[in-house]
């Protein structure tokens, strides 16, 4: 057993491993990632993975938890300051944060890339990931959208508008390579994120404004009494990702 009372060393190794693992899993996903590449990237011995994390699956779990912790801190899509803004500006801020995650650096934020891989080719961690990472983001977005669409918007109205916004953002996670290959002029612009954020925010806000006008025009036209807005589920950013068995596609696994 390891890490009993006060372990001094070794946590440096663990950290290096977690960071290298984040890179590798982000690039290739769980199945195609190779632990030899991870330990090489971390500059640690091959056996360290099993010693510290019990195996590839354990390392994956730990990496998810580590990244989730990290995401809570950087890239906030919720905070008291944000909530103090007008809904339009909350929306603009949300768009911008998401684009930063995807396009802000040479590589997307690793957790985002891992989510992408999970969506394409899920591991047993899929449920955890959706609940812990995607869901809070989408809930937060839906909350903003609801405020923008006004009290007459139905659940489906909110869902569709959220979907439109979310999809225009996640494109730059999944399709970043396509974007760079097909729109080199745009992609090379040092202010890509700002331009895209401006465009996407404007397009979505315009579409939502149109929807709202239509909804309220309908109301005036039909003289229907306003339905009360449904209570909104609180959108937390928190992520836990407690360890749980997660492994290879169909093989045996340690308890």
Partner DNA sequence: TCCCGTTTCAAACAATATTTTGAAACGGCC
Partner DNA sequence: GGCCGTTTCAAAATATTGTTTGAAACGGGA
Total residues found in the chain within this entry = 255
Out of 3, 86, 230, 234, the only residue in the binding site for DNA (CB under 7 A) is 3
Query: Which of residues 29 and 87 has its CB atom nearest to its own copies in the complex?
Result: 29
Q: Say which entry of its own copies, DNA, none residue 83 contacts (CB below 5 to 8 A, set by partner kind).
A: none
CB atoms within 10 A of CB 8: 6
Binding of DNA by 114 (CB under 7 A) = no
DSSP assignment letter at 47 = T
Nearer residue to its own copies within complex by CB, 13 or 193: 193
Q: Output Rg (C-alpha) for the chain, integer angstroms.
A: 21
Answer with the entry of DNA, its own copies, none that 186 interacts with (C-beta below 5 to 8 A by kind).
Answer: its own copies
Cα distances (Å, whole numbers) of residue 112 to 27, 42, 54? 11, 21, 25
- Report the site for DNA in 30-89 (rule: CB under 7 A): 33-36, 44-52, 54-57
Q: Which one-letter DSSP state was computed for residue 226?
A: P
Does 244 help bind DNA (rule: CB under 7 A)? no
Pairwise CA distance, residues 191 & 76, whole Å: 21
> In this structure, how many other beta carbons lie within 10 angstroms of the beta carbon of residue 75?
17
Q: How many Å apart are CA 75 and CA 70, to the nearest integer?
A: 9
| Spatial distance between the Cα atoms of 251 and 244, rounded to a whole number of angstroms | 16
Through-space distance between the first and last CA atoms of the chain, rounded to whole angstroms:
15
How many binding residues for DNA (CB under 7 A)? 34
> Residue 1 interacts with DNA (CB under 7 A)?
yes
Segment interacting with DNA (CB under 7 A) among 28-36, 125-133, 163-171, 177-185:
28-36
The contact set with its own copies (CB under 8 A) reads: 27-29, 31-32, 113, 116-117, 119-122, 126, 130, 134-135, 138, 155-156, 159-160, 163-164, 166-172, 174-179, 181-183, 185-186, 196, 199-200, 203, 206-207, 210
Cα separation of 249 and 124, whole Å?
8
- Binding DNA (rule: CB under 7 A), the pick from 105, 167, 252, 255 is 252
Q: Is the CB of 10 or the CB of 194 nearer to its own copies?
A: 194
Q: Based on the shown chain and the rule CB under 7 A, indicate whether residue 13 belongs to the binding site for DNA.
A: yes
255 contributes a contact to DNA by CB under 7 A: no
């Amino acid at each position: 057993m390891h890490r009993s009372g006060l372990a001094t060393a070794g946590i440096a190794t663990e950290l290096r491993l977690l960071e290298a693992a984040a890179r590798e899993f982000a690039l290739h996903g769980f199945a195609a990632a190779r632990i030899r590449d991870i330990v090489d990237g971390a500059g640690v011995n091959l056996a360290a993975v099993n010693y510290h994390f019990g195996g590839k699956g354990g390392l994956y779990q730990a990496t998810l938890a580590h990244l989730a912790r990290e995401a809570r801190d950087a890239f906030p899509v919720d905070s008291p300051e944000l909530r103090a803004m007008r809904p339009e500006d909350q929306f603009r801020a949300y768009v911008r944060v998401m684009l930063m995650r995807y396009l802000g650096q040479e590589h997307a934020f690793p957790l985002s890339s891992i989510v992408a891989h999970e969506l394409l080719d899920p591991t047993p961690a899929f449920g955890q990931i959706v609940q812990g990472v995607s869901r809070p983001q989408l809930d937060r977005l839906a909350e903003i959208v609801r405020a923008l669409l006004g009290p007459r918007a139905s659940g489906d109205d909110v869902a569709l508008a959220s979907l439109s916004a979310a999809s225009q953002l996640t494109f730059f996670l999944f399709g970043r390579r396509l974007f760079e290959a097909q729109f080199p002029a745009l992609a090379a612009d040092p202010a890509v994120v700002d331009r895209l954020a401006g465009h996407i925010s404007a397009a979505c806000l315009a579409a939502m404004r149109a929807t709202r006008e239509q909804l309220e025009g309908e109301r005036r036209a039909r003289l229907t009494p306003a339905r009360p807005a449904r209570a909104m589920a609180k959108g937390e950013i928190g992520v836990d990702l407690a360890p749980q068995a997660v492994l290879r596609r169909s093989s045996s696994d340690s308890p």
